[in-house]
Amino acid sequence: MARKKIALIGGGQIGGVLAQLAAQKELGDIILFDIVEDMPQGKTLDIAEASRVDGFDVKLNGTNSYEDIKDADVVIVTAGLPRKPGMSRDDLLTTNAKIMKSVAEGVRDNAPNAFCIIISNPLDAMVTLFQKVTGFPHEKVMGQAGVLDSSRFSTFIAWELGVSVKDVNAMVLGGHGDTMVPLVRYANVNGVPVMEMLERKYGDTNIAKEVMDAMVQRTKLAGGEVVKLLKTGSAFYSPASSAIAMAKSILRDEKRVLPTCAYLKGEFNVDGYYVGVPAVLGENGVERIIELSLNAEEQSQLDNSITAVKGLVVDMDRLGF
- Is residue 176 annotated as part of the catalytic site, yes or no? yes
Instruction: Identify which of residues 121 and 305 has a Cβ nearer to ligand TXD in the complex.
Output: 121
Tell me which of 102, 188, 241, 284 binds ligand TXD, using CB under 6 A: 102
Residues 140-199 contacting ligand TXD, CB under 6 A: 144-145, 148, 176
| Position 34 contacts ligand TXD (CB under 6 A) | yes
As to burial, measured by CB atoms within 10 angstroms (0-12 exposed, 13-18 middle, 19+ buried), residue 206 is exposed
Please identify which of the residues 4, 83, 176, 220 carries the catalytic annotation.
Answer: 176
| Position 276 contacts ligand TXD (CB under 6 A) | no
Site string for ligand TXD, 50-89 (x = CB under 6 A): ----------------------------xxxxxx------
Instruction: State phi, psi for 103 to the nearest 5 degrees.
Output: -65, -45
Which neighbouring-strand residues pair with 271?
Answer: 265
> Residue 294 — left, alpha, or beta (φ > 0 → left; ψ -120 to 50 → alpha)?
beta
Total of residues contacting ligand TXD (CB under 6 A): 34
Which part of the chain contacts ligand TXD (CB under 6 A), choosing from 34-42, 191-199, 275-283, 296-304? Answer: 34-42
Q: Which residues in 117-132 are b (16+ Cβ under 10 Å) and which e?
A: bbbbbbbbbbbbbbbb
User: Shortest approach of ligand TXD to residue 237 CB, angstroms?
Assistant: 10
Tell me which of 62, 175, 182, 239 binds ligand TXD, using CB under 6 A: 239
Tell me which of 20, 110, 121, 151 binds ligand TXD, using CB under 6 A: 121
* C-alpha–C-alpha distance, residues 215 and 203, integer Å: 18
Taking residue 188's Cβ as centre, other Cβ atoms within 10 Å add up to 17
| Position 28 contacts ligand TXD (CB under 6 A) | no
| Position 44 contacts ligand TXD (CB under 6 A) | no
As a whole number of angstroms, the longest Cα–Cα distance in the chain is 62
Instruction: Identify which of residues 161 and 244 has a Cβ nearer to ligand TXD in the complex.
Output: 244
| Position 12 contacts ligand TXD (CB under 6 A) | yes
Tell me which of 19, 123, 171, 184 binds ligand TXD, using CB under 6 A: 123
| Position 15 contacts ligand TXD (CB under 6 A) | yes
Question: What residues act catalytically?
Answer: 176
Binding footprint of ligand TXD on the chain (CB under 6 A): 9-15, 34-36, 78-83, 92, 96, 99, 102-103, 119-121, 123, 144-145, 148, 176, 233-236, 239
